[in-house]
Structure 1
Amino acid sequence: MSDGLNDQRAERVADLLSDFRTLQYYIAGVSTEPLHQDDYYCEGWAALRQCSIDGQHVLNSAAETRVPRVRGGPEEQAKAELQQVMLDAFARRHEAQKIYLRQGAALRWVEWRDSVLAGERPHGGNANQLDACDVQLRVELAAITDDSIYADMRSSDYQMGRWTQEDPRLRDVQRWVRARQ
C-alpha cells in the first residue's frame, strides 16, 4: 500500500532543515546595537532587534509531534510522520526567510543612514534625507509578504531540482505560524 516516496520525503525534510539552519546562522550573526545609543529607537535598529527576537522565537517554537495513527502499516505511519515534520520544517524555513529579508532591508537602512550622516549626527540639514531612508525601509518591509516568499522559495527549490511534490500550501504554513504566536 506504500507509495514508495518516504525517501524523497526524508530528503526534503533534510533540505528544509539545512536551509533553516543556514538562515538562523545568518540571522543570529547580525548586530542589533547601534554605535550611538541615541540611534537605539530609530526604525532600522528597532527592525533589526525585532528580527533577532523573531528568529529566536522560531528557533524555540516546539515542533508539533502529535501525528494521528493511520491505517496501512508502518510505511503509511512513516509517511504521515514525515509529512508532519515536513510542514514544521517548511514553515520554519519560510519564517526564517521572512526574517532574513526583513533584516536585509534594515541593514540597507543602516548603510543608507550612515551614508547620509557621513560620520556626523542627525541635524536639520540631513533630516529630509534621513526621513527618506525611513520611508524606503517601510516600503521594503511592506513588500516582504508571505505570498512573495512562498513563491520565491518554491521557485528556488524547483531550480535546484528539489522534490516539492508534497510541499505544504501557503495557507498551512500560515496556520502553523499563527499557532506559535
Structure 2
Amino acid sequence: MDGLNEYRTARVAELLEDFRTLQYYIAAVSCDPADMDDYYTEGWAALRQCAIDGQHILNCGADITVPRATGGPEEQAKAELKQVLLDAYARRHEGQKIYLRQAACQRWIELRNQILQGGRPHAGNEAMLRACDQQLRAELVDITDEYVYSELQTSDLSMGRWTAEDPSLRAVQRWVRTRRC
C-alpha cells in the first residue's frame, strides 16, 4: 500500500476532463465546405478524417482487463487505477493529436479563402493554392506522437499536475495500436 490512490484518482479525473473538452472542440468543427466543389480538396478531406478519428476514439471501449493484484483491496484499486490512467491518458493524447490536426486544417481553410477571395481556383492562383496545400501537408507531418506527448507533458508540469505515474509514449502508442479497427 503506497498511499497514492488519491493522487491516481485525481489524475484520472483531470485526464478525463481534458479529453471531454477536446471531444467538445473536435465535434464543434464543421467538416463541410460552403462550396461543395471544395469537398474533396486536401484540407476538407483531412478535416473529415479528424471527425471520424474523434468519433472512433470516443467510441472505442476501455480495456477492462486488470491483473489480480496481491496485497488486498488497496493494491487491487491501485492496479485498476493504473489501467484507467493509461486509458484516459491515451485518449487525451489521441484527442490532442486530432485537435492539432483540425487546427492545421482550419488554418489551411483560412489561407485558401484569402487566396481565393470569394472566387474559384484558376491558373492565376494555382501556384499559391499548391503552396497552401504543401504547407498543410508539412504541418500535418509535424504532428507526431512524440510532439503531442511532449507538449502535453510540458503543459501538465506547468499546471503543477501530478505526473509521477503517467504512462510512457510507448505505452500510449501500444494502447492506440490495439484500438485500430
* Distance of 2:82 and 2:170 partners within structure 1: 15
The AA in structure 2 aligned to 1:135 is Q
Counterparts of 1:158 and 1:73 in 2: how far apart (Å)? 32
How far off is 1:66 after superposition?
1.2
1:161 aligned partner, one-letter code: G
Which residue pairs with 1:50 in the alignment? Answer: 49
Matched, 1:154 2:146: no
Residues of 1 paired with 2:67 and 2:87: CA distance?
A: 15
Residues of 2 paired with 1:58 and 1:120: CA distance? Answer: 37
- Look up the match of 1:179: 178
What residue is the counterpart of 1:107 in the other structure?
Answer: 106
The SS at the match of 1:125 is coil
Which residues of structure 2 form unaligned runs of 5+?
A: none
> Quick one: which amino acid aligns to residue 180 of structure 1?
R
- 1:126 is displaced (CA, Å) by 0.4
Aligned to 2:86: 87
Residues 118-150 of structure 1 show CA distances to partners (whole Å, capped at 9, x for unaligned) of 000111110000001000000000000000110
Q: Which runs of 5+ in 1 are unaligned?
A: none
- The alignment-based identity, stated in percent, is 66
Match of 2:132 in 1: 133
Report the AA paired with residue 171 of structure 1: R
TM-score between the two structures when normalised by the length of structure 2: 0.99
| Corresponding residue number in structure 1 for 2:122 | 123
Q: CA deviation at 1:165?
A: 0.2
CA distance, structure 1, for counterparts of residue 80 and residue 17 of structure 2: 19
TM-superposed CA distance for 1:153, in Å, is 0.3
Superposition RMSD on alpha carbons, in Å? 0.4
Q: Shift in Å at residue 68 of structure 1?
A: 1.1
Match of 1:78 in 2: 77
TM-score by length of 1: 0.99
Q: CA deviation at 1:30?
A: 0.2
SS of 2:155's partner is helix
- Measure how far apart 1:53 and its partner are: 0.1
Residue aligning to 2:21: 22
- Runs of 4 or more consecutive aligned structure 1 residues displaced over 4 Å after TM superposition: none
